Amino acid sequence: MKAQSRTSQYVVCVSNRGYAASLVVRRLYPTIADPGAAERGLLRVIDESGEGYLYPTRLFAAVGLSAAVARRFLAAARPGR
């Protein structure tokens, strides 16, 4: 059986301390690559507003999704859905 491809472009919020208005614990969030932010211990996450903002990486855990699930998740997360 062929192995499914995985992506690490999604994270789950494990704490929203200090960001309760923007983040929901246990919710999956898509991320945007930002090497400069990563060097500073930050992660660019598309939050509840639909915009990409920087948050401390300690608030999240990486989640591996198959490519098919990632596409469905992203489509469902678009505003107006």
* Averaged pLDDT for residues 49-74: 89
Q: Which is it for strands 42-46 and 60-66: parallel, antiparallel or unpaired?
A: unpaired
| More confident: 45 or 77 | 45
Q: What are residue 6's DSSP bridge partners?
A: 66
Is residue 56's pLDDT more than 60?
yes
Domain residue spans of the chain:
8-46
What does the block give as tokens for 66?
Answer: 């198959």
| Predicted local confidence at residue 81, as pLDDT | 54
| Predicted local confidence at residue 15, as pLDDT | 98
